[in-house]
Amino acid sequence: MFKYTLDNKRYHTLNYYLKNKFNCKVYKVSLNAGFTCPNIDGTKGYGGCIYCSKTGSGEHGGNPHKDLITQFNDVKEVIDKKWPNAKYIAYFQARTNTYAPLKVLKEKYETVLKIDNVIGLDIATRCDAINNETLDYLEELSKRTFLTIELGLQTTKEETSKLINRGHTLKEFDDMVKKLRDRNINVVVHIINGLPYETEEDMLNTVRHLNKLNIQGIKIHMLNIIKDTPLETLYNKDNFHILTKEEYIDIVIKQLELLKPEIVIHRITSDPDIKTLVEPKWLTKKFCVLNDIDKEMVRRNTYQGKYYK
Confidence at 6, pLDDT banded by 50, 70, 90: confident
> Which residues, in sequence order, are CB contacts of 222 under 8 Å at separation 6+?
192, 193, 194, 243, 248, 269, 270, 280, 283
Domain presence at residue 124: yes
- pLDDT for the residue numbered 5: 87
Residues 100, 106: Cα–Cα separation, whole Å:
10
* Average confidence (pLDDT) over 282-306: 96
Question: Is 103 among the domain residues?
Answer: yes
* Mean model confidence pLDDT for the chain: 94
Domain with 281, as residue range(s), is 14-300
Mean pLDDT of 36-64: 78
Q: Per the domain annotation, does 5 fall within a domain?
A: no
**Residue 100's CATH number:** 3.20.20.70
DSSP state string for 82-97: H-TT-EEEEEE-SS-T
How many Cβ atoms sit within 10 Å of the Cβ of residue 93? 24
Residue 307 lies in a domain: no
Counted domains in the chain: 1
Mean pLDDT of 65-93: 93
Angle (CA) 15 106 23, round 5°: 20
| 262 is a domain residue | yes
Name residue 267's amino acid. Answer: R
Q: For residue 1, is pLDDT > 80?
A: no
Would residue 134 count as lying in a domain? yes
| CA angle in degrees (0–180, nearest 5) for 104-214-127 | 35
- What's the pLDDT tens digit per position in 123-148? 999 999 999 999 999 999 999 999 99
Specify if 254 maps to a domain: yes
